[in-house]
Structure 1
Amino acid sequence: MMDRRDFLERCAAAGLGSTMLPGALAALAVNSVVAQTSTGSTKAEPPAITAFPPITVEMLDAAAVIAGLTLTAEQKAMMLDGVREQRAGLQAIRDLHLPNSVAPAMVFHPLPQGYQMPAAPDVHRPAKRHDAVPIIPGEEKLAFASIPELGGLLRSRKMTCLEMTRFFLARTQALDAKLHLLVTPTTERALAQAAQVDKDIAAGRYRSGLHGIPWGAKDLLSVKGYRTTWGAAGMETQQFDEDATVVQRLDAAGAILISKLTLGALAQGDVWFGGRTRNPWNTKQGSSGSSAGPASAVSAGCCAFAIGSETLGSISSPSTRCGVTGLRPTFGFVPRTGAMALSWSMDKLGPIARSVEDAAMVMAAIHGSDGVDTSCIPATFEISSKDLSSLRVGYLESAFNEPVLRTPDANAEKPETEAQKRESAQQRQQAFERQRYDNRYDRATLDVLRSMGIQLISVRLPDLPFSSISKVLSVEAAAAFDEITRNGRVNLLTAQSANDWPNQFRTARMYSGVDYVQAMRARTVLIAQMAELFRTVDIIVTPSGGPQLTATNLSGHPAVIIPNGLRGNDAPLPQDTTDGGRMNAGGPGTPVSITFLGKLYDDATVLAFAQRYQEKTGFHKLHPQVG
């Protein structure tokens, strides 16, 4: 066991920010034991509270430093018994061995006070396109056909569902060697579903526009009879005896689940226990994450659509990298029952598809309360054919401004030599050139919208510390994976850098319950101010990254991310050109995107507007050559 001096030195070396004392104290003790006993360990049981060092007044001194508190000797003496009792009480909760599927008793909803839910449109969407289409010659055209085109082939009986399913199963497994996007093919299930679809069509029965359409599931969705690995080493054989609600709903719509696709371990990045999932446009690059497999598979023509998830960019980022269309629905619009929990107040499930039209067809099948996910509420989703010209369209003006060359951070560590100074200046210049190049595509979006007769309104995001508020994500994630952090199994995950989950889970234990509640109160302010912003506009167009991504994931607003062109041969090279390098992104011949934001639970309107822009530009029709 550590002695007092070692304990205090480790506390000082941790350099952790301010939190409240009891949580920090308990976390320090937990981490000290785990650090000593479980590095690289696969032991199933974490250490008991009784195995920790006894709490002393000196420990309160160390914890007070982490908590940012000043305590008198009298106050510490008064606290000691209560803190000891509090830590002892943790064991009773830990002994419950709460599974990931158990949500907190608190239920998050993103609705501000007095918010009026969008009403169903007066003019209903046009009838689903069930008309036949010509035979699609060649494998490439079949691989990249739209949902209506594939459906037309089936309904015209120019191709059976079994033939189509076998084609996409084979393509996925063939391209997996290049892209590392496949965890488990669901072959037996898919072929049985396809045979039933062929019987239905022969009898003239059509369940929906998705009837017979092949799709893939991010491997955080449970599927009965198949493993659900969450992308994590140590969980390769994990199974659940249920189908996730979205899987059940897509089954009911007649869609054919052909594969369980990769995600970064525990929904972070694109590195999973099988390696790094690749970008079909440049296979030396990762596909970004954490919906790495879904975006890569749709981009490469391995399935017509996939279901991904986003907590903080996990649909937006891979959709951008892989040049596909992603819908991050309003928080609470799609039930997450049967999906891995990362952050109960931020997780969202949504479609990744070739086009906005395809994404809307999928959303129509998966939205709405299931009576189990208590954060999911009944809401109307109906794409209308109404005139969109009356919509007020805002744009985040500062995000479209031409970038400026970044000056050195006055607080950053200064380069020691002239060579280091030159290297630092060169890196800043190269980053500036990449930003300036990509800014052309963002600004071109505004020109296209104006050419469509749209009067753009300049808007600004609330002036709030979004990144500080977003710490609620890592705290909830640390709770979701508390046990594997305490027993050391988190050390089995492939990625172990300072920015990866293992370190984030441990660091989040230094964040107190009081600070979490304060951050959620600040989130209430953010939600109210975002509601004020959306009283002035109906849609906001924005570059896909930047502060808006954090702000809108916290506020729960929907986003549609669509392809917005390809970088030319004159594009600056990525920061890192090594094969699979973390910073290998962008560069010649890779996609860019643009994002449209909408009002809460008004996903149908923002989809309709994004479809109008997409049809004007046609960038979604581009696809990589990976066959």
Structure 2
Amino acid sequence: MRAVDLVGRCLDRAEHAGRQFGSIAALATDRAMAEATAADARLASGDTDPLLGIPYGVKDVIAARGAPTSWGATCLRDRVLDEDATVVDRLSRRGGVLVAKVVTSSLAGGGGLDRPGMSAHGQARNPWAPDRFPGGSSSGSAIAVALGVVPYALGSETGGSVVQPAAFCGVTGYRPTWGLIPRTGMMTLSARLDKVGVLAQTAADCALVAAAMIGPDGIDEDARPEPTVPAQRPAFDRLVVGISPNELDQVADPMRATARRGLDELEALVGEVRSVEISRELGYAGAIELIVTADAHQSLSSLIWSPDVELADAGQLARLRAARGIPAAAYAEALDVQRLAREQFANVFREVDLVVGVSMSDQPQLRDEPRRPRGSASVADRLLAAANLAGLPGVAVPCGLDDDGLPVSLHLVGPRHSDRLLLAIASHYQQHTSHHQLRPTPCVG
């Protein structure tokens, strides 16, 4: 199939199914067709780059030349930037075809959300259950992949914004080691925590896309070169995996049996399983929320204090402005918790190669349900918050459907710069299971 034909199909899907489920912020029709035409010319000349001519979406906190970049803020809905983010530029050079900007929760969820999925583009819908939250803040990325609108989409994660929507929408989500992929051209929520991620049907696809984006760009001061490691196939049957003995205690009843089967399937593919525990007492979830809110107040101050600011969620604006009053001592304490998270994981990874848990311990909430408080009660919440604080890579992989037909997901976490190993393990799991092939009923095929 020619790239222009494939891209035309994706644009049609985006216009219909994508908009129906609220995943599309803006179509990039002219750019997409121009890039597809150029890709066809390269293909005709014998270029075999695996990303050449492949359509993708970009979360609306990442700049893309000629397309609106609103950050999910109502007052920025029509803003068009004239430069690509580094990651978009790198994909473009490889022949990737940008089809659409996909929705994000308002300001990527900075300051929290009273109503899930609220943004300048309205509430997005979960393709598995339209009355439920699709996860956020990379909502549009997960929905578009789940519906088959695009093969992959870029997202971002600060505290869980790739893992959660990937889990709720039944797709694979990859969070890189902090600093591995440059963030130039992406909205800054918290520079000490922000990461560009990938959502796709498979871990193999995530690995392919990630490989095109990694490495410093000379602009993002936090971006570092990937350590050189020998290219070799991991010995899966010698891997030591850490799992909390209490992993399933707070998992919702309809999800528990599926989560147990998923863990059993993974355990059967590795060499040894050991018990590990992520501290409940350190308050990782509270620390990450405080850091993100305080950092967002600083990085977005010109926007949130502008007389022209308008957000879909007025409560979010109030919370971000109130962050001006966060005491310096409280922020310092949160940074101490971040340091302790790194130390705890350093100790854990002396005993195991990776930690595995359930990505989300509860089903996605109903769209009109009051906001659930973010706490640290479940092992899943603690692992997600602690891993983000420590800057660790992670992969969310589908492991089946629960008793209500909703996706359940496993969260694989490894030490810094174990990204390739984690993605290889996730891919190995997917080669031995078919959960990632499940598609929601409204999928356009």
Same fold (TM over 0.5): yes
CA displacement, residues 168-190 of structure 1 (integer Å, 9 cap, x when unaligned): 11111111342111111111111
The answer (yes or no) to whether the contact 2:236–2:269 under 8 Å persists in 1 is: no
Identical counterparts, % of pairs: 34
In structure 1, what is the equivalent of residue 409 of structure 2?
Answer: 593
- Corresponding pairs, count: 414
Residues 536 and 262 (structure 1 numbering): CA distance in 2 closer, same or farther, change over 3 Å? same
In structure 2, what is the equivalent of residue 611 of structure 1?
Answer: 427
The answer (yes or no) to whether the contact 1:264–1:290 under 8 Å persists in 2 is: yes
Alpha-carbon distance, 1:512 to partner: 2.5
CA displacement, residues 227-261 of structure 1 (integer Å, 9 cap, x when unaligned): 21111111112222211000011011111111111
State whether structure 2 residue 106 is matched by structure 1 residue 265.
yes
State whether structure 2 residue 235 is matched by structure 1 residue 457.
no
Given candidates 297, 300, 325, the residue that maps to 2:147 is 300
Given candidates 290, 297, 305, the residue that maps to 1:486 is 305
The answer (yes or no) to whether the contact 2:105–2:137 under 8 Å persists in 1 is: yes
CA distance in 1, matches of 2:33, 2:291: 42
State whether structure 2 residue 165 is matched by structure 1 residue 318.
yes
TM-score (norm 1): 0.64
Alpha-carbon distance, 1:312 to partner: 1.0
In structure 1, what is the equivalent of residue 83 of structure 2?
Answer: 242
Residues 479 and 621 (structure 1 numbering): CA distance in 2 closer, same or farther, change over 3 Å? same
Alpha-carbon distance, 1:488 to partner: 4.9
Given candidates 353, 356, 362, the residue that maps to 2:209 is 362
Residues 186 and 381 (structure 1 numbering): CA distance in 2 closer, same or farther, change over 3 Å? farther
In structure 1, what is the equivalent of residue 325 of structure 2?
Answer: 510
The answer (yes or no) to whether the contact 1:369–1:377 under 8 Å persists in 2 is: yes
The answer (yes or no) to whether the contact 2:236–2:270 under 8 Å persists in 1 is: no
TM-score (norm 2): 0.89
In structure 2, what is the equivalent of residue 219 of structure 1?
Answer: 60
Q: Which runs of 5+ in 1 are unaligned?
A: 1-158, 404-433, 569-587
Q: Helix, strand or coil for the counterpart of 1:279?
A: coil
Alpha-carbon distance, 1:496 to partner: 3.2
Alpha-carbon distance, 1:530 to partner: 1.5
CA distance in 2, matches of 1:332, 1:297: 26
Alpha-carbon distance, 1:622 to partner: 0.7
Given candidates 205, 225, 240, the residue that maps to 1:392 is 240
In structure 2, what is the equivalent of residue 86 of structure 1?
Answer: none
The answer (yes or no) to whether the contact 2:241–2:270 under 8 Å persists in 1 is: no
Matches within 5 A, 1:119-518: 159-206=1-48, 208-268=49-109, 269-380=116-227, 384-400=232-248, 402-403=249-250, 435-452=252-269, 454-462=271-279, 463-470=281-288, 471-490=290-309, 492-497=310-315, 501-518=316-333
CA distance in 2, matches of 1:384, 1:179: 41
Q: Helix, strand or coil for the counterpart of 1:516?
A: helix
Q: Helix, strand or coil for the counterpart of 1:617?
A: coil
Q: Helix, strand or coil for the counterpart of 1:188?
A: helix
CA distance in 2, matches of 1:247, 1:615: 29
CA distance in 2, matches of 1:450, 1:225: 47
Alpha-carbon distance, 1:216 to partner: 0.3
CA distance in 2, matches of 1:273, 1:456: 45
RMSD over equivalenced CA pairs, Å:
1.7
State whether structure 2 residue 357 is matched by structure 1 residue 542.
yes
Residues 397 and 325 (structure 1 numbering): CA distance in 2 closer, same or farther, change over 3 Å? same
CA distance in 2, matches of 1:450, 1:304: 29
Q: State the AA in 1 paired with 2:412.
A: F
Q: Helix, strand or coil for the counterpart of 1:397?
A: coil
Alpha-carbon distance, 1:503 to partner: 3.0
CA distance in 2, matches of 1:330, 1:321: 22
Q: Helix, strand or coil for the counterpart of 2:325?
A: coil
Residues 224 and 539 (structure 1 numbering): CA distance in 2 closer, same or farther, change over 3 Å? same
Q: State the AA in 1 paired with 2:311.
A: L
In structure 2, what is the equivalent of residue 565 of structure 1?
Answer: 400
Q: Helix, strand or coil for the counterpart of 1:210?
A: coil
CA distance in 2, matches of 1:197, 1:523: 44
170-179 or 379-388, which deviates more: 379-388
Residues 386 and 484 (structure 1 numbering): CA distance in 2 closer, same or farther, change over 3 Å? closer
The answer (yes or no) to whether the contact 2:134–2:143 under 8 Å persists in 1 is: yes
The answer (yes or no) to whether the contact 1:381–1:603 under 8 Å persists in 2 is: no
In structure 2, what is the equivalent of residue 77 of structure 1?
Answer: none
